[in-house]
A = this chain, B = another copy of it.
Amino acid sequence: MNGQRAVRITDVAREAGVSTATVSRVLNGLGSVDPELAARVRRAAEVTRYVPNPNGRALRRQRADVWAAIVSDVQNPFFTSLVTAVEHVAVRSGISVMLCNTDEQLDRERSYLTTAVAQRMAGVVVSVTSEATSDLSALLAAQVPTVVVDRRVHDFTGDTILLDNVEAGRLATEHLLELGHRDIMCLAGPSGVSTTEDRLQGVRQALTGAGLTLDPARMVRTDLKIDDAEAAVRAALADPRNHPDAIFAMNGPLTTGAYRGVQASGLRMPDEISLVGVDDDRWTQMVSPAVTLVAQPVEEMGTRAAERLVALAADPASEPVHLLLPPHLLVRGTTSAA
């Protein structure tokens, strides 16, 4: 009932009959301490069930054993997989991960970045809300180890681990072109998000290679929400005499929405319309037809990012890494010849 006061380092010191400095040295493995004393300290810590206060420690050390994982949508399996991968590495390093969900909102992102700096976090993995307006300079100024993943950021010179998004767009489009499709609808995100921008560029390259151009009327911007995508696809397929013969949905939620939109339209995949999605989520293999899509190596992205944070902690001056991971086209059931 009555909240017993927590055990402090002083209590351990008293129990072991040494000073707090010695306790700290033993428990952190710094300096050198007589083995017999060290044993006594360790026993005392056991007995008293001592747990260091992270706030006191972080205050003094000017570094908290916490990483922030800042993502724009925790409901998107891509990001939960990413965070899970980061977390696996974190656990091994005795670090906690703070999940920061921005919901694609710049002000929430800003607030999390401020917190990360204020807390003197040991690292940040961030997929930004916008290439142009997101601003990571505070992290750099405060020398917080930072790895940008998934989406590019303007003016950021640190570590970045991205998918080769141009290649992803090209893979998807070339696949559709090879099947003979010419009228391809593209579902993209808002113009500030580098992933869909780059994928669009890949689309354009592929079209150009085939002597075609992207019809602006077939390019739809959405807020990366499932329902947006569904509505857009329903609208595009409403006119039976003038609808695209293929759709490229450029991320996970858009793929979900597009699939539902096609289902709602009554058109049959792949005979009457083809669909290429992105992200190999579980459901894409359970539906019928299964979704043809471009898969990203998510786990690798998360693991690499986390490992870079570990490396940056060891050597803050280490040369920034810029990785471009390869996408893979998985041909399944939603695409066929025109």
Q: Per a CB cutoff under 8 Å, which of B52, B81, B101, B114 touches A75?
A: B81
> Are B288 and A54 in touch, CB under 8 angstroms?
no
Interface-central residue, A118, A120, A226, by most chain B CB under 10 Å = A118
Q: How far is the CB of A177 from chain B (nearest CB, A)?
A: 27
Chain B residues within 8 Å of A52, by CB = 118
Shortest CB distance A262–B (Å): 10
CB-defined contacts of A274 to chain B, threshold 8 Å: none
Q: Report the minimum CB–CB distance from A172 to chain B (whole Å).
A: 20
Instruction: Please give, as numbers and ranges, the residues of chain B lying within 8 Å of A47 by CB-CB distance.
Output: none
Contact of A83 among B4, B74, B87, B96 (CB under 8 A): B74
Which of A14-22, A33-41, A55-63, A162-170 contacts the other chain? Answer: A55-63
A117→B50 CA distance, assembly (Å): 12
How many residues of A are counted as interface, with CB atoms below 8 angstroms from the partner's CB atoms? Answer: 51
A143 contacts across to B, CB distance below 8 A: 3
Residues of chain B with a CB closer than 8 A to A119's CB:
53-55
Looking at the assembled complex, report how far the CB atom of A113 sits from the nearest CB atom of chain B, in whole angstroms: 11
How long is the Cα–Cα vector from A298 to B171 in the complex, in angstroms? 38
In the complex, A164→B3 CA distance in Å?
32
Docked-complex contact A142 and B6, CB < 8 angstroms: yes
Which residues of B are found within 8 Å of A75, using beta-carbon distances? Answer: 77, 80-81, 84
Taking a contact as CB atoms under 8 Å apart, the answer to whether B115 and A96 are in contact is yes
A-B contacts, 24 listed (Cβ < 8 Å): A3-B141, A6-B118, A51-B114, A51-B118, A53-B119, A54-B119, A55-B56, A55-B120, A69-B99, A74-B84, A74-B87, A75-B80, A80-B80, A96-B98, A96-B100, A96-B112, A96-B115, A98-B99, A99-B99, A256-B282, A260-B286, A263-B286, A282-B283, A283-B286
A positions within 8 Å CB-CB of B: 3-4, 6, 51-56, 58-59, 64, 66, 69, 74-75, 77, 80-81, 83-84, 87, 91, 96-101, 108, 112, 114-115, 117-120, 141-143, 226, 256, 259-260, 263, 282-283, 285-288
Q: What are the 8 A-B residue pairs with the smallest beta carbon separation, nearest first?
A: A99-B99, A283-B283, A3-B143, A55-B59, A55-B58, A51-B118, A55-B55, A98-B98
